[in-house]
Amino acid sequence: MKKLLALSMFILMLLFLAACGGDDTSSEGDNAGEDDTSSEESSGDESSSEGDGEWAPSESIEIVAPAGAGGGWDTTARMSAQVLNEEGIIEQDMGVVNKEGAGGAVGWAYMAEQAGSNHNLFVSSSPILLVPLNGQSEYGHEDFTPIANVIADYGAFAVRDDAEWDNLNELFEDMKEDPQSVTVVGTSSPGSMDHIQFVRFAKAAGVDITKIKYVSAPDAGGITQLLNGSADVFSTGVAEVVEQARAGEIRVLAVTSEERLEGETLSTFPTAMEQGIDESFINWRGFFGPKDMDPAAVEYYEAKFKELSDSGAFADVRSNYGWNEMFMGSEEYQEFLDQEKEALKGLLDELGLTAE
């Protein structure tokens, strides 16, 4: 009996231990399943969070040049898009379209309709400040999203090769005596880029700027008027006079940079500063997006344009066109634009060209 009782107790103990072991196994299995599920959910949340913090274009990017083909805006847009694609900086397709008219106002009106888009960009420069100030556009830089400035371009004052003036001082001396005896032509409208850059230097030289005779010849007509004698001085961008200067048809009296530009022909153009006129003028040029662009998209494009600016390929482009490097990110660009607008407004007020 004692042996039988001991055996029974042993069997009961084994059954009890087996039952406990099964419960533990089941509990561990359940906990393991819960831990795995929790781990998967946590991993998914982290991945989503990282994805939400990044932006990249999901469709082709349209870049608007608010002017005709061949000008500064068009060239900047096309050369930037080319380098961005060829260097693999932006892999998405980029197309440049021209929306010309009204000194840029037609293109700006088109861009205003793209508010909230992350796939529309445009190129601009000082006219986006000047044209609204003189009342020729309802849209100004405040209506868009500054992304990055990429270059500094410069102006030039040219005369025919047989003109009576050999330097800028001789021209301004005649204009001090009779400002209206000299006709200045530019491609921009009165109160815009070509007009204002000339006025700034004439004022620094002591000319009565309110009496300057300025005429507008859009669609590249300025050089034609200069060569056929309809105008005496052509105020324009440096790139627009290089070929004619090289051919000996015109003479560049001055460029608006602080120092001489680099290049076989460009380096022969004197600055106004070396002629004793303490003035310079930078035709900055950069990229904007529509109003209400996603901040993540702004950050993306800003980084890409910085990469463009730092690239050797774009350095070659700048050298070819006589441009200088002048990069500003979005925030710095916004502050610069606000300050530039105030300075230009003062000049337009003096000319009586500010819109009421």
pLDDT (average), residues 253-265: 93
Q: What's the pLDDT at 53?
A: 56
Considering Cα of 162, then 164, then 168, then 172, what sign does the dihedral take? negative
The backbone region for 149, taken as left when phi is positive above 0, alpha when psi lies in -120 to 50, beta otherwise, is beta
pLDDT in tens, 277-287: 999 999 999 99
- Residues 154 and 186: their CA atoms lie apart, in Å, by 14
pLDDT (average), residues 28-42: 38
Considering Cα of 206, then 211, then 226, then 194, what sign does the dihedral take? positive
Task: Give yes or no for a contact between 29 and 88, defined as CB atoms under 8 angstroms apart.
Answer: no
Please indicate whether residue 189 or residue 338 has the higher confidence score (pLDDT): 338
Full-model pTM: 0.78
Q: What's the pLDDT at 45?
A: 30
Tokens standing for residue 121:
């960009």
pLDDT (average), residues 213-228: 89
What domains does the chain contain, in order, with CATH numbers?
Answer: 61-152+283-351 (3.40.190.150), 154-282 (3.40.190.10)
Nearest to 237 by CA among 261, 206, 213: 261
Please indicate whether residue 324 or residue 3 has the higher confidence score (pLDDT): 324
- For 99, residues 6+ apart whose C-beta sits below 8 A from its C-beta are 64, 65, 66, 106, 107, 110
- Distances from the Cα of 110 to the Cαs of 64, 106, 115, 129, 338, in angstroms? 9, 6, 10, 17, 23
Residue 124 exposure: Cα atoms within 13 Å on the Cβ side: 32
Mean pLDDT, rounded, of the chain: 87
- For 177, residues 6+ apart whose C-beta sits below 8 A from its C-beta are none
pLDDT higher than threshold 90 for residue 350: yes
Instruction: Return the minimum-mean-pLDDT range out of 42-46, 101-105, 227-231, 284-288.
Output: 42-46
Tokens standing for residue 129:
């400040």
pLDDT (average), residues 73-86: 97
| φ/ψ of residue 11, rounded to 5 | -65, -45
